[in-house]
A and B are shown apart, each in its own frame.
Chain A
Amino acid sequence: MAAQQPASGRRTANDLRPGESATVCCLKDPQMALKLLDMGCIPGTQVRLAGRAPLGDPLMLVLGDEEYTLSLRVSEALTIQLKD
């Protein structure tokens, strides 16, 4: 699971190391994107991987300037592409 590279070559939120931050570039899955947008995960937002559940999935993503924490599955994190 660690080195999953999406076809487009862009890193996704699932590729973050614990504690690492990055900026959201785009949202891949249109349906999932609507949900993520509603929850404030919009392109340009900074995200930080706060940690993973002990079994590697789901993961904990801190949004913005430590504003709030989302919990989401790996399959959902894979749709969040990051800026390089």
Chain B
Amino acid sequence: MVGASKDVRQASPLPGPREAAPERLPRLALIGNPNSGKTSLFNQLTGLNQKVGNFPGVTVDRKTGIAQLGGQRRAEVVDLPGTYSLYPKSLDERVIADLLYNPRSPDYPDFVVVTVDASNLRRSLLLFSQLADLGLPAILALNMTDVAAERGIQLDVATLERELGVPVVPMNARRGVGLAALRIVMADRLAARPPAGRFWQPAPELRPLLAEIRQHFKLPNDYLALHYAHQFRQLHFLSEDDRQYLATLTEKAAFNSTAQQAAETVARYAHINELLLEVVTVTRTERREPASNRIDKVLTHRIFGYLIFLAILFLLFQAIFAWAQYPMQWIDQGISALSAAIQARFHGPLVRLLTEGVIAGLGGVLIFIPQIALLFAFLAVLEETGYMARVTFLMDKLMRPFGLSGKSVVPLISGLACAVPAIMGARTIESWKDRMLTIFVTPLMSCSARIPVYTVLVALVVPDEAWLGLFNLRGLVLMGLYLLGLTSALLSALLLKAVLKARERSYFIMEFPVYRWPRWKNVGLTIVEKVKAFVTQAGKVIIAISILLWVLASYGPGRRQEQAALQMQQTASAGHWSAAETERRVASARLENSYAGSFGHVLEPAIQPLGFDWKVGIALLTSFAAREVFVGTMSTIYSVGQDADLGTVQQKLAGEKDAQGRPFFTPVRALSLLVFYVFAMQCMSTLAVTYRETKSWRWPLGQLVYMTGLAYVASLFVWQVWGS
């Protein structure tokens, strides 16, 4: 069970001496339809007091927080995935069943708060009625009363309360209206009883079956037993024997799950319709088209719709490409300054481990924060306003031939800036298969870390002249590389689509939320949550691999490094080199004789068919920390010194000769290397974040093998066809 060990109880920040006997906080679960304002309510209740963990065994985020209730009481709040009913239709929704159907679980909530969209009461009450029949003590948070009022919908709260048998709190969670009342009602409910009324009873012919299940599992009511009969195959907490028992039992009773569910839902709606006759009155003098529909006419227009989406993408791209560069530079400079300051005062191998290994690795983690923060600021605003659903609507048909859905567009485009936040952004895709496909192919989009490599190599071999007197040739080649990345991403998705078996039936159908202004608090909390998740989870892997790479590049087998350095120093003093020149040559000699250098030599036979030598081999290895390290490694190998600018590196590369004395970097060789960088998976941060998002090493390893294999084959093709 992944992540289950870290129990949420440690999240309770109970200070003080009375902690000796930590009392378990009352636990409440927040549940509701998608777009019913559940997240807003959760953020309002818990603020920054949130913690993201995992539901055991699945990849669904488990957000918990501590809420301050009325009368100085506190409770732990669990935010459950949005759902329309208790019959799960997606993997995410199954965690609800696991949490609510096992009264003996330590995580079982003391009561549930059901968020309900007041402008959409009929559908929202379906879920509530199911929860009530389960016998769970409940509070109804009647949310979005402002939208309902706008539409001329009046609700008789007192009647609703009487009919449902639970407290009903009208509120507007986005603005915090009604929150105080809800806190007081919640504090009251800590010793609550389940609602008395029953909305629906299972058919009489099912009674014997349900009675048997009830007795066997000691369940409090028939309705819970019915859910066991429906869902036993997916309930994680049941043992194999239990499942076998239920399978035999339901088979004997000829229990038809689909038909029973349909009948139940229809019956519930009938009851709810009746109930609402007394509660809802709609006064609408004129039938005016809702504002949302009018906005939709523009935003999903066949021309303007795409133009506006393109403009938004352009802005997004500007943000993560250009604006993020400033904070990234500050982080980079700050890390360098810190390393330099430490190295100026202290010496020794431990100091080098600290500065070149640990601090450099830390820098490699922190450097992503601006891009992640900006991307999620954008995504949160798009999600909050309801625009994301329209993007999906516009793009779905275009993406479907490749096995992707409309929701894959934004992660893929973000991948052009950086795959790390892009993969995290794939969270918005509900369908497991679509999400895995998107995560898998996103790193094939040419990210910004490839730019230094592209720039150096393209400038090296492509003349800076116009083609057809119009287009800059270098620009064209660069665009070709980007298109190659995009094409390979789409085709790989197509390939994987055929291989991958869907775990569940996926539905595209979704509700179009009404357009709303974003709540900045929600946007801010999303950013904090995503940055925290990246730093704490992917960050560990990145720092560990950084240290490993540093060791490989700094130490060598036996005393080879020392000998090589000594030899270089002797040559230097014989040749009367300057101190700087000597230092560069020594560094180069040390790298050649390090483990990484040996690796380059070992690798040489394998990469020779691609046109690369051992020097490129070293750069390929160190690129794994981040692709842009390629330039730095090439500088060290060709002993141009670490602070050389791109121009100097280029001159050095251009001056490099092969065994026959001809220039080493011919256009074909450079193209082979470029193609390798387009495809190869050389980014441990991406692998780490893929692991975090998929909770399995299968996916990152698959990316590593597939992309690197693709790179190898493509480079091999280039070099073998045109190179010799």
Contact = CB atoms under 8 A, between A and B. Distances in A.
Contacts of A67: 119-120, 122-123
B348 to A, nearest CB: 63
Contact of B511 (A36, A39, A58, A76): A39
Contacts of B398: 55
Interface stretch (B10-18, B49-57, B84-92, B247-255): B84-92
B526 interface: no
A60 interface: yes
Contacts of A73: 396, 508-509
A60 B295 CA distance: 14
A33 B263 CA distance: 11
Contacts of B509: 35-36, 39, 70-73, 76
Interface residues on A, range: 20 to 34
A35 B507 contact: yes
Interface string B271-308: 00000000000100000001011001100111001100
A38 B262 contact: no
B255 to A, nearest CB: 15
A14 to B, nearest CB: 13
Nearest to B261: A34
Q: Name, among B89, B123, B266, B510, the residue most crowded by chain A CB atoms within 10 Å (CB to CB).
A: B123
Contacts of A32: 507
B681 interface: no
A51 B296 CA distance: 10
Q: Is the interface of A mostly helix, strand, loop or mixed?
A: mixed
Contacts, number: 105
A36 B505 CA distance: 14
A6 interface: no
Contacts of A43: 266
Contacts of B505: 31
Given A31-B258, A38-B85, A68-B120, A55 B397 contact: yes
B126 interface: yes
B265 A37 contact: yes
Contacts of A38: 84-85, 87, 89, 126, 265
A34 B265 contact: yes
A7 to B, nearest CB: 21
Q: Is the interface of B mostly helix, strand, loop or mixed?
A: helix
B123 A71 contact: no
Interface residues of B, number: 41
Contact of A53 (B89, B123, B396, B511): B396
B392 interface: yes
B397 A37 contact: no
A81 B94 CA distance: 29
A60 to B, nearest CB: 7
Nearest to B263: A37
Contacts of B258: 30-31, 34
A39 B265 contact: no
B393 interface: yes
B120 to A, nearest CB: 6
A72 B405 CA distance: 12
Contacts of B296: 50-51, 60, 69
Q: Name, among A38, A57, A70, the residue most crowded by chain B CB atoms within 10 Å (CB to CB).
A: A38
B508 A76 contact: yes
Q: Name, among A32, A42, A64, the residue most crowded by chain B CB atoms within 10 Å (CB to CB).
A: A42
A70 B120 CA distance: 13
Given A34-B262, A34-B265, A69 B511 contact: yes
A48 B512 CA distance: 14
A54 interface: yes
Interface in B358-397: 389, 392-394, 396-397
B389 A71 contact: yes
A78 to B, nearest CB: 12
Interface in A16-61: 30-40, 42-43, 50-51, 53-58, 60
B135 to A, nearest CB: 21
A66 interface: yes
B512 A39 contact: no
18 contacts: A30-B259, A31-B505, A32-B507, A34-B261, A35-B509, A38-B85, A38-B265, A39-B84, A42-B265, A51-B297, A53-B394, A54-B305, A69-B293, A70-B510, A70-B511, A71-B393, A71-B511, A72-B509
Sorted nearest first, the 4 A-B pairs with minimum C-beta distance are A54-B302, A40-B123, A69-B512, A55-B397
